Amino acid sequence: MKGYYLDPHPDANVASEHYAIVKMQRLKRDRCPETQVTLLESQAQAIAQSNIEEKRYPARVMGPARSSEGCNIFYILEILTSA
């Protein structure tokens, strides 16, 4: 993906896919800072712990990755639904 840096060193912790709760004001965002992401073990956990009224959405994310601004971010791959 354009705009982030992955350390090519073999011992580096490379970005990977996770289920998470993402706190964000609008659903149209394609990335968010790691401070707004809570990683979870499964899709079911993410859906169970979400709270739409508090703007905590279940999602499938990729990261963490280093942004061009120098902070760690997660890319939002998909907002999950219970169906």
pLDDT (tens, 9 = 90+) of the chain, 83 residues, equals 444 445 555 555 567 899 999 999 887 889 999 999 999 999 999 999 999 999 999 999 999 988 888 899 999 999 998 65
β strands within 1-83, DSSP E = 4-5, 16-23, 31-33, 37-40, 56-67, 72-79
User: Among 9, 78, 72, 69, which Cα is nearest to 35's?
Assistant: 72
Contact 56, 27 (CB under 8 A): no
Confidence (pTM): 0.78
